[in-house]
Amino acid sequence: MQHYGLTGTSTEAQAIEARAAAVLGFLIRFPDEELLPALTEAERSAVQGELSEIRASLIWICRFTTKRMQRLIVDVEPFRTCTVECSDCYQLALVVSVPEGARCYFCWSRRPIDEAMRLYCIATSGRPTVGSLLHLR
User: What is the average pLDDT across 67-95?
Assistant: 87
Q: Are residues 84 and 129 in the same domain?
A: yes
Q: How many CB atoms lie within 10 A of CB 17?
A: 20
| Side chain identity, residue 61 | I
Model-level pTM greater than 0.95?
no
Residue 103 belongs to domain spanning: 74-135
User: What is the average pLDDT across 95-120?
Assistant: 85
The closest of 101, 105, 96 to 113, measured between CA atoms, is 101
Domain count, the chain: 2
pLDDT on residue 133:
42
Q: Are residues 100 and 125 in the same domain?
A: yes
pLDDT higher than 50, residue 19: yes
- Residue 37 belongs to some domain of the structure: yes
Residues of 103-113 as b/e, b for ≥16 C-beta within 10 angstroms? Answer: bbbbbbbebeb
| Side chain identity, residue 93 | A
Q: Are residues 41 and 85 in the same domain?
A: no
pLDDT on residue 9:
58
Per-residue pLDDT of 22-58, as tens digits, reads 676 667 678 878 888 888 888 888 887 788 777 767 6
Check: CB of residue 125 under 8 Å from CB of residue 132.
yes
Check: CB of residue 89 under 8 Å from CB of residue 18.
yes
Share of the chain above pLDDT 70, in %: 72
- Can you list the alpha helix ranges (DSSP code H) found in 28-136? 29-30, 41-76, 113-125, 130-135
User: What is the average pLDDT across 83-102?
Assistant: 85
Q: Which residue has the higher pLDDT, 129 or 27?
A: 27
